[in-house]
């Protein structure tokens, strides 16, 4: 298993290095100094000097070996466009992304699991069919479309939430609560978007898992004893159907970082996803590599934890 993860990690690192360089354009064409609305671009000679400074004038295989050597030292490099440490930039943006991802994961897993359990308990009835059709259709809607819809309705038209950003610019707060309220107010629509986008997966997983559990003999015994439906559903059935759902939570945590990229750009939320789009737009190879690598490592780590947790919850898994 460890060899398997190391192989995946090497493939990720290789793709992470070569893919940005396959993009059209040159990062040094986007470097400019803007003062008073006047943009100054660099000459070809200056661009060649920059390439030599960042080591981009060397053959690709030498650049790749240098990249590996820096990674082994924990060095993600220096941003070409922003002239700042990539690690520092990611550490500044990461808490914003983690906040909306963890909140949406918690909400989507709770509500999706409960709705799926109820749907399985009333299987083949009208309520189950309606929920099933709705969730199937709803889960196919891309997260950025959901975000745009919520943005137009609740922010632009009803003005219930801010249009963009993670916090009110230049705001002063009298209390800590007012500060956190402002953060939550800005994060509400991104969280709701990611929650709705992940709701269908947990519904389907919970429903399928519950259908398997509800067919067991001990559930029929509980019904024969005359136990209440709520006790059978939540205490006996749902508890025994949780292992695959909990494992999916860890796996979804990694996938949600990918979904957050589009959602953060819809709401101009100052997380890693927004930073990634800026890096791609400016062809900042070093920053792109750093962000992709951190997101990929988190996904790999979450999948590894999902395997461990699943085996702990279900000893039958070898």
Q: Assess whether 52 and 132 both reside in one domain.
A: no
Q: Assess whether 43 and 98 both reside in one domain.
A: no
Q: Assess whether 110 and 234 both reside in one domain.
A: yes
Q: Quick one: pLDDT at residue 32?
A: 52
Range(s) of the domain holding residue 21: 2-72
CATH number at residue 129: 1.10.3720.10
Q: Assess whether 63 and 196 both reside in one domain.
A: no
Res. 316: pLDDT tops 60:
no
Nearest to 284 by CA among 62, 61, 50: 50
Which region among 7-16, 285-294, 300-309 has the lowest average model confidence (pLDDT)? 300-309
Q: Is residue 88 part of a domain?
A: no
Res. 190: pLDDT tops 90:
yes
Q: Is residue 297 part of a domain?
A: yes
Q: Is residue 180 part of a domain?
A: yes
Q: Assess whether 274 and 179 both reside in one domain.
A: yes
Which region among 43-57, 106-120, 192-206 has the lowest average model confidence (pLDDT)? 43-57
Q: Assess whether 246 and 101 both reside in one domain.
A: yes
Q: Quick one: pLDDT at residue 262?
A: 84
Mean pLDDT confidence for 181-200: 92
Q: In whole numbers, what is the pLDDT of the chain averaged over residues?
A: 82
Q: Is residue 89 part of a domain?
A: no
Q: How far apart are CA 300 and CA 31, in angstroms?
A: 34
- Output the pTM of the full model: 0.83
Q: Quick one: pLDDT at residue 36?
A: 41
Q: Quick one: pLDDT at residue 230?
A: 67
Q: Assess whether 56 and 122 both reside in one domain.
A: no
Q: How far apart are CA 193 and CA 142, in angstroms?
A: 10
pLDDT in tens, 10-64: 888 888 888 888 877 777 766 654 444 445 566 778 777 877 877 878 888 898 9
Q: Assess whether 247 and 149 both reside in one domain.
A: yes
Q: How confident is the model at residue 254 (pLDDT cuts 50, 70, 90)?
A: low
Q: Assess whether 168 and 211 both reside in one domain.
A: yes
Q: How far apart are CA 300 and CA 79, in angstroms?
A: 25
Of 41, 72, 103, which one is at a domain's C-terminal end? 72
Q: Is residue 84 part of a domain?
A: no
Q: Assess whether 68 and 103 both reside in one domain.
A: no
Q: Is residue 318 part of a domain?
A: no
Q: Is residue 276 part of a domain?
A: yes
Q: Quick one: pLDDT at residue 35?
A: 42
Tally of domains in the chain: 2
Alpha carbon separation from 227 to 116, 117, 214 (Å, rounded): 21, 17, 14
pLDDT in tens, 122-172: 888 888 888 888 888 878 888 888 899 999 999 999 999 998 899 988 888
């Amino acid at each position: 298993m460890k060899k398997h993860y190391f192989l995946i990690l090497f493939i990720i690192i290789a793709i992470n290095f070569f893919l940005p360089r396959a993009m059209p354009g040159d990062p040094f064409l986007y470097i400019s100094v803007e003062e008073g609305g006047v943009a100054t671009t660099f000459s070809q000679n200056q661009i060649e000097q920059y390439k030599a400074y960042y080591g981009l004038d060397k053959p690709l295989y030498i650049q790749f070996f240098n990249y590996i050597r820096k990674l082994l030292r924990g060095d993600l490099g220096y941003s070409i466009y922003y002239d700042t440490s990539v690690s520092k930039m990611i550490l500044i943006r990461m808490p914003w992304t983690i906040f909306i991802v963890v909140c949406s994961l918690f909400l989507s897993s709770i509500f999706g699991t409960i709705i799926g359990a109820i749907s399985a308990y009333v299987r083949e009835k009208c309520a189950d069919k309606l929920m099933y059709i709705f969730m199937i259709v709803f889960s196919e809607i891309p997260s950025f479309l959901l975000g745009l819809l919520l943005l137009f309705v609740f922010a632009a038209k009803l003005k219930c939430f801010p249009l963009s950003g993670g916090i009110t610019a230049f705001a002063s707060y009298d209390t800590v609560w007012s500060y956190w309220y402002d953060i939550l107010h800005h994060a509400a629509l991104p969280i709701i978007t990611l929650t709705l986008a992940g709701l269908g997966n947990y519904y389907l997983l919970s429903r399928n898992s519950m259908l398997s559990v509800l067919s067991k003999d001990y559930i029929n015994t509980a019904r024969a004893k005359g136990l209440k439906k709520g006790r059978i559903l939540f205490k006996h059935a749902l508890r025994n159907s949780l292992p695959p759902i909990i494992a999916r939570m860890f796996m979804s945590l990694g996938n949600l970082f990918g979904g957050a990229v589009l959602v953060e750009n819809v709401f101009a939320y100052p997380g890693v996803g927004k930073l990634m789009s800026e890096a791609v737009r400016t062809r900042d190879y070093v920053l792109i590599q750093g962000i992709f690598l951190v997101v990929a490592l988190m996904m790999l780590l979450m999948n590894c934890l999902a395997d461990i947790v699943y085996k702990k919850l279900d000893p039958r898994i070898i």
